[in-house]
Structure 1
Amino acid sequence: MIYIVIISVLAALIILIRFYFLKKEIQRITQQLNQLNKKATSKKIDLTFYDKDLENLAKKINEQIDLTNQATVEKRRTKIELKQAIANISHDIRTPMTSILGYIQLLESEEISPEKKMEYLVIIKSGALRLKVLLEDFFELSVIESTDYPMKIENIKLNKLLFDVLIGFYEEFKHAQIEPSINIPKEEIFIMADSSAVKRVIENLISNAIKHSSGNITIHLDKSLSTVQLTIMNPAQQLNEKDLILLFDRFYKADQTRTRKGAGLGLFIAKSLMVKMNGNLSAELKGNQLLMKCEWKD
């Protein structure tokens, strides 16, 4: 009987000792969390008393700390990006606006000839059109990034849509003295996507290729067992791997000195639309050739 009492006392003592250390460890974890909340430290939770359930709790808390840190970094990055975007928007709008106002002042002079007036009007019209494109890009960006952006996903014939878009670029190809190499299979290729969004993606990619190509452009449509791929390739000697990483960022321009009709939003808009359609848009350099690849799951 005495042995049972001794064993019971020892068991109770062990339980009390364990409870005491668990309580102390919980208090220690609470202190660490308070330090984290006060931003006095960025150190994760560590344990001095090991218990399976306590370890799982600490693990989950540390995972949440990682998520919070990632969110903080992302928030800081977004804030910096927003400031840069505002600066870029201001600069991109101010440039044509300043030019337009300057030439309007010149037109007010009674000393200029009719020929000069016509020249200035052409410049003003060009600036106004550039401003229109900029504002349309900014508006489209705000619409695309909204959570309720409408997408009408349906079965569309990519061959016909691509052919129709290419016909619309005939004059631009001719003006740029570019004869594109086009490879579109005769067999019908269908994808599940939004037709207007796909058209916008193709237009942006072709426009980008025409603006920056130093030679001819290759357009290739292909279907594999699992995907449909549209590739647009053009020479791009000015690009490097660093540019490639940033190519789909908002307002990024590989050549900052070049006069552009847009604000560097074309590729970002194309990428955003592809993501919304559960597709993918990627870029790679093959020698001095820039290859843009659109992929849809078959």
Structure 2
Amino acid sequence: MLIVTIVLGAAACLFAILYGLQVSQTRRLMQKLRQLNNEERSQLVTMSFPSKLNQELVIEINRLIHAKEQMARSYQWNEKKFHQGISNISHDMRTPLTAILGYLHMLNQGKVTHQEQANYLRIVEKRARSLHRLIADFYDLSRLDEGEYALESTLIDVNEIGLNLLAEVYDDFEASGFQVEASLPPAAPKVVADANAVHRVIENVLQNAKKHGKNKLLVDSKVESGSIVMSFSNGSEVITKQELSHVFDRSYTTSSSRTNDSTGLGLSICKTLLSQMGHNIKADYAEGIFTITIFWNIESEEYNNEEAKSK
């Protein structure tokens, strides 16, 4: 009887100890959870002698802590990009507006010659067009984000659109000191895309080359691995790997391009439009040459039927 009493007493003591540990661990976990809710940054939860149940709970709490910290870092990064974007937008809008107001003030003074007046009006028109294009870019990006940019998929000859646009800007490129060479075969397969969006994409790439490029522009198109690979290569100042990784970011421009009437939105619009149409784009830089390459997917039903007939 005495032995039974001793055993029961020992068991009761052991139970009390284990219960006390359980209560202590649970309180500690509750404290960590309160810290997690009240602090911006929390340490991972650890326990000296966790039970199996508490160990699983600790793992889940630590996963929650990791997720919270990742969300906080992501929020801070997005907040930084947002403020930088606002700063860039303000700069891009202020620059042409300041020029327009300045030249209009000089014109209103009535102290300029007819030649100066004509020159000032040309500058005002150029800056006004720049501002209009900037506002249009912001509007289009907003529509793309909201899914309100209507895209009508049809079979499009992207090389024909490229040739027509290149013909329109050829004289402007030559006047800016570019040597232009193009190879856009007229018999290339058609791709499934929206005609207006294709026009916008190629136009933006050409504008980007004219604004930031120099010396030469090489435009090439070839069929390769189920795609029309269309490349635009131009002479360029040195572009670092970091700058290259951001060329499709919104409102991103190098510091030097900020003096070159740049909005930093053109290539971002290109990437968004191409992605929504099922195509792709990338940027490369090597030995003074900057290249934008568009991959137009030609795996359309018509193309597949034509391939089958040729075989």
1:218 aligns with 2:215: no
- CA separation of 1:136/1:45 partners in 2, compared to 1, >3 Å: closer, same or farther? same
1:35 CA displacement:
0.8
Q: How many residues are paired up?
A: 296
Shift of 1:37: 0.9
CA distance in 1, matches of 2:71, 2:210: 39
More displaced, 242-251 or 154-163?
Answer: 154-163
Structure 2 letter corresponding to 1:268: S
Q: Which residue of 2 aligns with 1:144?
A: 144
Map 1:21-100 → 2, pairs under 5 A: 25-39=25-39, 41-50=41-50, 55-100=55-100
C-alpha spacing 1:117/1:193, structure 2 compared with 1 (3 Å): closer
1:158 aligned residue: 158
Does the Cα contact within 8 Å between 2:227 and 2:296 map onto a contact in 1? yes
- Distance between the aligned counterparts of 1:11 and 1:155, measured in 2? 82
2:194 is matched with 194
Give the letter for the 2:281 counterpart.
L
Would you say the 8 A contact 1:133–1:262 is kept in 2? Answer: no
Q: Which runs of 5+ in 1 are unaligned?
A: 1-9
Cα distance in 1 for partners of 2:155, 2:46 equals 54
Separation in structure 2 between the aligned mates of residue 163 and residue 113 of structure 1, nearest angstrom: 41
Q: 1:64 Cα shift?
A: 3.7
1 CA distance for matches of 2:155 and 2:53? 51
Q: In structure 2, what residue type is equivalent to 1:90?
A: S
Task: Identify the residue that residue 244 of structure 2 maps to in structure 1.
Answer: 244
Identity percentage of aligned residues = 28
Q: Which has the higher mean CA deviation after the structures are superposed, 255-264 or 120-129?
A: 255-264
1: distance between equivalents of 2:53 and 2:183? 62
Residue matched to 2:276? 276
- Deviation per CA, 1:161-196, whole angstroms, max 9, x where unpaired? 333333333333333343433233455334343332
Q: Deviations over 1:63-112 (max 9, x none)?
A: 34333322222222222222222222222222222222222222223444
Whether the 8 Å CA contact 1:137–1:262 is kept in 2: the answer is no
- Letter of the 1:183 counterpart: S
For 2:295, the equivalent position in structure 1 comes to 295
Q: Is the Cα contact below 8 Å between 2:184 and 2:220 reproduced in 1?
A: yes
CA distance in 2, matches of 1:19, 1:196: 72
Amino acid at match of 2:101: L
Partners of 2:41 and 2:69 within 8 A in 1: no
Secondary structure, aligned partner of 1:133: helix
C-alpha distance in 2, partners of 1:251/1:168? 27
Change (3 A) 1:58 1:152: farther
Give, in whole Å, the separation in 1 of the partners of 2:275 and 2:67.
Answer: 23
Q: Distance in 2 between matches of 1:201 and 1:12?
A: 78
Task: Quote the Cα distance in structure 2 between the aligned partners of 1:16 and 1:185.
Answer: 86
* 1:231–1:291 Cα contact (<8 Å) kept: yes
Q: What amino acid is the match of 1:98?
A: T
Shift in CA distance, 233/36, structure 1 to aligned 2, threshold 3 Å: same
1:132 aligns with 2:132: yes
Q: 2:129 is aligned with what amino acid?
A: L
1:216 counterpart SS class: strand
The aligned amino acid for 2:183 is N
**Paired residue secondary structure (1:215):** strand
Secondary structure of the equivalent of 2:216? coil
Q: Measure the CA separation in 2 of the matches of 1:40 and 1:107.
A: 57
- Residue 253 of structure 2 corresponds to residue 253 of structure 1: yes
RMSD over equivalenced CA pairs, Å:
3.6
- Measure the CA separation in 2 of the matches of 1:17 and 1:190: 78
- Call closer, same or farther: CA 1:148–1:257 in 2, change over 3 Å: closer
Q: Give the match's secondary structure for 1:45.
A: coil
Give the TM-score normalised by the residue count of structure 2.
Answer: 0.77
40 and 198 in structure 1: CA distance in 2 versus 1, 3 angstrom threshold: closer
